[in-house]
Amino acid sequence: MNLINMLKPSEFFTQNIGKEMTTSPSPVLNWLKPVILSVEKGKLILQYTIRKEMTNPMGILHGGMTAAIIDDAMGATLFGYDEPHYYVTVNLAIDYFSSAKEGDLIVAETTMIKKGRQIANVQCEVWNEGRTRIIARGYSNLLRTEKRQAPEAP
């Protein structure tokens, strides 16, 4: 049984601040291997190390990887609300501003703009480690599904 099944999702994130994420219910998030820097309701800050397999032929962060980081970070933000339902992305708009290369540390910071009963609107900004240069900014609407997360362990 993995740890996330024993804790509320917000507790799982809080207890893993400073640690690399490897036991999320999202296989994509586990593959991206972010380190949780901060978590609060409606806001999540994750740090990523750009690995070779995340780059394009020019040796910079692939736009699809940036999109995956943004999309998964925004979805993970909803776990801070401890809801029993999963959410899916309805749309995803990304503006790309600058690049990152293999070995760079980048930071993704999400903000819940509005959370309704069915739809959540979330923003994510991706920065270089020192937060002096924005790499990308994404916006998304996520739809609550009827699929429920696994119940907590007794």
Type of residue numbered 135: I
Phi, psi of 109 (to 5 degrees): -125, 120
Condensed to tens digits (0 to 9), the pLDDT of residues 63-107 reads 999 999 999 999 999 988 888 888 999 999 999 999 999 999 999
What pLDDT, on the 0 to 100 scale, is given for residue 5?
A: 53
Helix (H, G, I), strand (E, B) or coil at 112: strand
Q: What single string gives the DSSP state of each residue in 118-145?
A: SEEEEEEEEEETTSSSEEEEEEEEEEEE
- 51-70: per-residue pLDDT in tens? 999 999 999 999 999 999 99
What CATH number does the domain located at 9-145 have?
Answer: 3.10.129.10
How far apart (Å, rounded) are the C-alpha atoms in residues 104 and 71? 20
Length of the chain: 154
Question: Is a pLDDT exceeding 70 seen at residue 152?
Answer: no
Say if residue 147's pLDDT is above 90.
no
Determine the distance from the C-alpha atom of residue 92 to the mean position of all C-alpha atoms in its chain, rounded to a whole number.
Answer: 13
- Higher confidence at residue 148 or residue 112? 112
Tokens in use for 78? 């909803």
- Look-up of token digits 């007794």: 154
33: number of CA atoms within 13 Å, CB side? Answer: 7
- pLDDT for 26 equals 82
> If pLDDT is split at 50, 70 and 90, which confidence band does 150 have?
low
pLDDT score of 4: 47
Contacts of residue 110, Cβ cutoff 8 Å, sequence gap at least 6: 43, 44, 45, 73, 74, 76, 77, 122, 123, 124
pLDDT tens track for 13-39: 888 899 998 888 789 989 999 999 999
Specify the pLDDT at position 141.
98
Predicted confidence at residue 35, as pLDDT, reads 97
Residues near 48 by Cβ (< 8 Å), separated by ≥ 6? 32, 33, 34, 35, 69, 105, 106, 107, 108
Kindly state the helix (H) or strand (E) to which residue 64 belongs, with its residue range: helix 63-77
What confidence score (pLDDT) does residue 154 get? 34
- pLDDT top residue among 25 and 6: 25
The pair of structure tokens assigned to 94 is: 């990304």
Q: What is the pLDDT of residue 153?
A: 38
